[in-house]
Amino acid sequence: MRLNTFTLAIATLAALAISSSALAQKKYDTGATDKEIKIGGISPYSGPASAYGAIGKAISAYFAKINEEGGINGRKLNFISLDDGYNPAKTVEQARKLVEEDEVLFIFNTLGTPPNSAIHKYMNGKKTPHLFVATGATKWGDPKNFPWTMGWQPNYQSESKVFAGHIMETKPNAKIAILYQNDDYGKDYLKGFEDGLGDKAKTMIVSKISYEVTDPTIDSQMVSLKGTGADTFFNITTPKFAAQAIKKAAELGWKPTHYLNSVSASVGAVMIPAGVENGVGIFTASYLKDPTDPQFQKGKEWDDWLAWMKKYQPNGDIKDANNVYGYTAAQGLVQVLKQAGDNLTRENIMKQAASLDMTLPMLLPGVNVKTGPDDFFPIEREQLAKFDGKTWVLFGKVYGR
Amino acid sequence: MKPLDRKWVWFWSVLLLVGLLVLPFLVKNYRVFQFNLVLVYAIAILGLNILTGFNGQISLGHGAFYAFGAYTAAILMDKLGVPYWATLPAAFVVCFCFGFLVGFPALRLAGHYLALATFALALAVPQLLKYKGIEGMTGGVQGLVLTKPEPPFSFRFLDQPLSADRWLYFFSLAVAGLMFLLAWNLLRGRVGRALIAVRDHPIAATAMGINLPVFKSMTFGVSAGITGLAGALGAIVVAFVSPDSFTVNLSIFLLVGVVVGGLASIPGAIFGGIFIQFVPNIADEISKSAPAAIYGLLLIGFMYLLPMGVMGGVYKFWMRMRTKTAG
């Protein structure tokens, strides 16, 4: 038979089709298959930081929604979330279990600075993505030395600098007392604060007292801080202790200008247990829409979030900002996985995580998520807010890059 | 009664040895890591057994010596760059001294009071380790992250590489074998008989010329040293130490291991190690919401079926088999 042009054309097209499908081949690392993506998570469902367990639950609930809608690129998300009780020794154990026994593709939003510090070297040694860690310590944004670890929320040192800047502007002669958790999280906030005050740090800070996360209460520390006669208070505590501190300050009749770190700025988890009347006037920094703020309780973003809460977390606390945090972080990850497509290698996951430029529905207007090969801090912008007894009222400008 | 045919003893021992050597290549790394912990706990239980089983001094504080050994190894490796194998004898010496210092005043205490005093030590240890003054050395509440030693050579066997965990398995196996041999040697001679005499009837033992204070303190020291060495090995295997890794639970679990394995039994320590490493995991799998309750139930069941521990059960079984052949 003579090879006519028609046959040749068909043959060429067929050859191209076969080769292009070879090019678009799926690539998997351990934990990813055609049907599912295994994701590991470690949260403090028990122990002194168990208020943050709500974040892990929210993430599971969001993944349930994604799975019900068909998954990502046809793959379901299998989220294996283990409890570490905020105990770094247990975190090491759970991380080993997730990576070596459950063989997850990567771990996501592991919570707490001490727990994450304990597995930092291990995850990088195992070349497994340690993604969007639920802590703002400055050390997570170090792609040169730890290319497999990426932070998520605004880093603590820049947040403290915003507070320090505000104090310098509004109360340059303040006498500041500080309560901080004695671990890398507390010390990171403290360093940023002292750097922000610069030379005046020595004269302005009259007292800094620490507590251990395993302490039952911080009452004695509060009494000592009040005794120094300070008129400004920087409260570097996790939710359980933040509530105790606010309550104790009110009981002692101490009414300083109170700055609360963003990690404990949840109305449902902190302000209500502390007594809302005791929290009036407290400053914090926000990057998420607080669910108790009436100005955000409308519009498509709110409706979506509320519908998700009602369907997938009917027993969840609508006033708890941790539910907004988990929702937003999960959305961030979904975007990374969508961008990764069928190339689900660990290297590509990190590459996609380092190429983000988007906004998410429950972030404050003006706050975005942006990463690059040298920029492992996805969220960097924050706005100051003041508690009015019901919600955090935003004011001023949006700080950050 | 037929004595045990020596041929068969040799055969089964060689088979067991081959099995132990091949085991890490048959399972995944994570399982090998768990086996390493079994060996570490077995050594720690051996230490406690010498004190409690053979010498009758109840200690609810051996977790403290384990912690001191672990931190000695961690500080030597992390801050002073000492090679990992050298930290083991160092940990033994440090914990021997500690044990002796604890054992000396403990001479005045007996039974429940000694248990309480050692319990107090176990409770205090996490707080002591978090003490701000020594934070520079101990890493405070965040602890110290260590690098796992790499194997000195590499090969593949049964299609599995000699990973760091597998290398540490062989290392731990060698250390455990050595400690068990030393303990067996120590206890089958004069010293062993003296320890048991002191446990069963201290006044008669003194009358026979055994120097009670020296003996009891030395036993405390040796026991603490062995558990401290186990702690150092544990720190290397896990590659992480923190104050909250060594709560009072550890001390209690070590005692559980002693009882489950069999009091005053050297091979029982292995079974004790297997129990305290794997049974909590089994309990976790059975129930996510109340694993401690399941663990308690399993422990009670175990005590009901084998009140003298595993070795006690083995001994009873053996006796029953021998009387059968006699009849």
> Residue-wise pLDDT tens for chain A (401 aa)?
555 666 665 555 555 544 444 445 788 888 899 999 999 999 999 888 999 999 999 999 999 999 999 999 999 999 999 999 888 988 998 999 999 989 999 999 999 999 999 999 999 999 999 999 999 999 999 999 999 999 999 999 999 999 999 999 898 999 999 999 998 999 999 999 999 999 999 999 999 999 988 889 999 999 999 999 999 999 999 999 999 999 999 999 999 999 999 999 999 999 999 999 999 999 999 999 999 999 999 899 999 999 999 999 999 999 999 999 999 999 999 999 999 999 999 999 999 999 999 999 999 999 999 999 999 999 999 999 999 999 999 998 888 87
Domain that holds residue A167: 156-286
Bridge partners, A379 (sequence order)? A369
The closest alpha carbon to A181, from A241, A233, A140, belongs to A241
**Is B18 within the bounds of a domain?**
no
- Residues of chain A in contact with residue B143, where contact means CB-CB under 8 angstroms, are 88-89, 118
Q: Does A213 touch chain B (CB under 8 A)?
A: yes
Residue A5: partners with Cβ closer than 8 Å, 6 or more residues away = none
Task: Name the DSSP letter for residue B149.
Answer: P
Bridge partners, A380 (sequence order)? none
Q: Is the pLDDT of residue B3 over 70?
A: no
Residues A97 and A180 in one domain: no
**Is B119 within the bounds of a domain?**
yes
Residues A274 and A306 in one domain: no
Task: Name the DSSP letter for residue B243.
Answer: G
Closest-CA residue of B relative to A181 is B141
Give the number of domains in chain B: 1
Helix B268-286 with B291-305: angle, nearest 10 deg: 140
Q: What is the CATH classification number for the domain harbouring A106? A: 3.40.50.2300
Residues A165 and A273 in one domain: yes
Q: Does A386 touch chain B (CB under 8 A)?
A: no
Q: What does the pLDDT average to over B74-95?
A: 93
Q: Is the pLDDT of residue B1 over 60?
A: no
CB A336 within 8 A of CB A129: no
CB B38 within 8 A of CB B45: no
pTM: 0.83
B90-130, pLDDT tens digit by residue?
A: 999 999 999 999 888 888 887 889 999 999 999 999 888 98
Strand positions, DSSP E, A115-164: 130-131
**Is B12 within the bounds of a domain?**
no
Residues A62 and A163 in one domain: no
**CA atoms within 13 Å, Cβ hemisphere of A260:** 30
Cα separation of B271 and B274, whole Å? Answer: 5
Residues A135 and A188 in one domain: no
Cα separation of A336 and B173, whole Å? Answer: 45
Q: What is the pLDDT of residue A190?
A: 95
Residues A353 and A309 in one domain: yes
Q: Does B124 touch chain A (CB under 8 A)?
A: no
Tokens for A157?
A: 């040192």
Q: Please provide the DSSP assignment of B77-144 as one string.
A: HHHS---HHHHHHHHHHHHHHHHHHHHHHHTT--THHHHHHHHHHHHHHHHHHT-GGGHHHH-GGG-E
Residues A149 and A162 in one domain: no
**Is A291 within the bounds of a domain?**
no
Residues A281 and A164 in one domain: yes
Task: Name the DSSP letter for residue A41.
Answer: E
**Is A348 within the bounds of a domain?**
yes
The closest alpha carbon to B224, from B108, B118, B134, belongs to B118
Q: Does B141 touch chain A (CB under 8 A)?
A: yes
- Residues of chain B in contact with residue A88, where contact means CB-CB under 8 angstroms, are 141-143, 240, 242, 244
Tokens for A361?
A: 């529905």
Domain that holds residue B247: 28-149+157-326
- Residues of chain B in contact with residue A92, where contact means CB-CB under 8 angstroms, are 238-240
Q: Is the dihedral of CA B27, B29, B31, B33 positive or negative?
A: positive
Q: Is the pLDDT of residue B275 over 50?
A: yes
The Cβ of residue A135 has, within 10 Å, a number of other Cβ atoms equal to 24
CA distances from B54 to A131, A357, B45, B205 (A): 51, 68, 12, 14
- Residues of chain A in contact with residue B33, where contact means CB-CB under 8 angstroms, are 96, 100
Rounded to a whole number of angstroms, the distance from the CA of A97 to the nearest CA of chain B is 7
Q: Does B245 touch chain A (CB under 8 A)?
A: yes
Q: Does A43 touch chain B (CB under 8 A)?
A: no
What is the 3-class SS of chain A, one letter each residue? CCCCHHHHHHHHHHHHHHHHHHHCCCEECCCECCCEEEEEEEECCCCCCHHHHHHHHHHHHHHHHHHHCCCECCEEEEEEEEECCCCHHHHHHHHHHHHHHCCCCEEECCECHHHHHHHHHHHHHCCCCEECCECCCHHHCCCCCCCCECCCCCCHHHHHHHHHHHHHHHCCCCCEEEEEECCHHHHHHHHHHHHHHHHHHHHHEEEEEEECCCCCCCHHHHHHHHHCCCCEEEEECCHHHHHHHHHHHHHHCCCCEEEECHHHCCHHHHHHHHCHHHHCCCEEEECECCCCCHHHCCCHHHHHHHHHHHHHCCCCCCCCHHHHHHHHHHHHHHHHHHHHCCEECHHHHHHHHCCCEECCCCECCCCCEECECCECCCECCEEEEEECCCCEEEEEEEECC
Task: Name the DSSP letter for residue B267.
Answer: T
A118 vs B242: CB contact, 8 Å cut-off? yes
Residue A117: partners with Cβ closer than 8 Å, 6 or more residues away = A88, A137, A139, A184, B142, B145
The residue type at A299 = G
A88 sits in which H/E element: helix A88-96
CB A266 within 8 A of CB A289: no
Cα separation of B319 and B327, whole Å? Answer: 12
Of A2-11, B19-28, B220-229, give the lowest mean pLDDT range.
A2-11
CB A56 within 8 A of CB A81: yes
The closest alpha carbon to A267, from A302, A236, A233, A294, belongs to A294
A96 vs B147: CB contact, 8 Å cut-off? no
**Is B319 within the bounds of a domain?**
yes
Residues A280 and A315 in one domain: no
Closest-CA residue of B relative to A103 is B30
- Residues of chain B in contact with residue A210, where contact means CB-CB under 8 angstroms, are 132
The Cβ of residue A185 has, within 10 Å, a number of other Cβ atoms equal to 26
Give the rounded percent of residues in chain B with a pLDDT score beyond 90: 50
Q: Does B138 touch chain A (CB under 8 A)?
A: no
Helix (H, G, I), strand (E, B) or coil at A39: strand
Which burial class, exposed, middle or buried, applies to B1 when counting CB atoms under 10 A from its CB (0-12, 13-18, 19+)? exposed
The Cβ of residue B254 has, within 10 Å, a number of other Cβ atoms equal to 29
B260 sits in which H/E element: helix B248-261
Q: Is the pLDDT of residue B288 over 90?
A: no
Q: What is the pLDDT of residue A22?
A: 43
Q: What is the pLDDT of residue B130?
A: 86
Q: What does the pLDDT average to over B215-237?
A: 94
Helix (H, G, I), strand (E, B) or coil at A238: coil
What's the mean per-residue pLDDT of chain B?
A: 89
Q: Does B280 touch chain A (CB under 8 A)?
A: no
**Is A161 within the bounds of a domain?**
yes
Q: What is the CATH classification number for the domain harbouring B162? A: 1.10.3470
Nearest to B244 among A88, A122, A184 (CB): A88
The residue whose two tokens read 């792609």 is A143
- Residues of chain A in contact with residue B141, where contact means CB-CB under 8 angstroms, are 88, 114, 182-183, 212-214
Cα separation of B196 and B112, whole Å? Answer: 19
Residue B51: partners with Cβ closer than 8 Å, 6 or more residues away = B57, B59, B62, B219, B220, B223
Q: What is the pLDDT of residue A397?
A: 87
Give the number of domains in chain A: 2
Nearest to A88 among B29, B132, B142 (CB): B142
Higher pLDDT, A298 or B326: A298
The closest alpha carbon to A209, from A239, A177, A238, belongs to A177
CB B257 within 8 A of CB B45: yes
B30 vs A114: CB contact, 8 Å cut-off? no
Q: What does the pLDDT average to over B210-237?
A: 93
ipTM above 0.95, yes or no: no
- Residues of chain A in contact with residue B126, where contact means CB-CB under 8 angstroms, are 214
Residue B164 — pLDDT band, cuts 50, 70, 90? confident
Cα separation of A232 and A225, whole Å? Answer: 10
Strand positions, DSSP E, A257-370: 257-260, 283-286, 343-344, 357-358, 369-370
A101 vs B130: CB contact, 8 Å cut-off? no
Q: What is the pLDDT of residue A7?
A: 61
Residues A203 and A142 in one domain: no
Put residue A366 in one of left, alpha, beta given phi > 0 → left and psi -120 to 50 → alpha: left
Residue A128: partners with Cβ closer than 8 Å, 6 or more residues away = A99, A104, A105, A106, A107, A148, A346
Residues A196 and A249 in one domain: yes
- Residues of chain A in contact with residue B238, where contact means CB-CB under 8 angstroms, are 92
CA distances from B53 to B56, B63, B91, B219, B273 (A): 6, 17, 23, 12, 16
Q: Is the pLDDT of residue B179 over 70?
A: yes
**Is B50 within the bounds of a domain?**
yes
A184 vs B142: CB contact, 8 Å cut-off? yes
- Residues of chain A in contact with residue B244, where contact means CB-CB under 8 angstroms, are 87-89, 214
| Candidates B40, B129, B141, partner chain A, best to mutate (most A CBs within 10 A) | B141
Q: Is the pLDDT of residue B281 over 50?
A: yes
The closest alpha carbon to B38, from B308, B214, B200, B281, belongs to B281
**Is A93 within the bounds of a domain?**
yes
CB B219 within 8 A of CB B195: yes
A118 vs B240: CB contact, 8 Å cut-off? yes
Nearest to A89 among B130, B147, B240 (CB): B240
Rounded to a whole number of angstroms, the distance from the CA of A61 to the nearest CA of chain B is 19
Q: Strand B156-157 vs strand B160-161: parallel, antiparallel, or unpaired?
A: antiparallel
**Is B297 within the bounds of a domain?**
yes
- Residues of chain A in contact with residue B242, where contact means CB-CB under 8 angstroms, are 87-89, 118
Residues A79 and A143 in one domain: yes
Q: What is the pLDDT of residue B153?
A: 80
Cα separation of B306 and A193, whole Å? Answer: 60
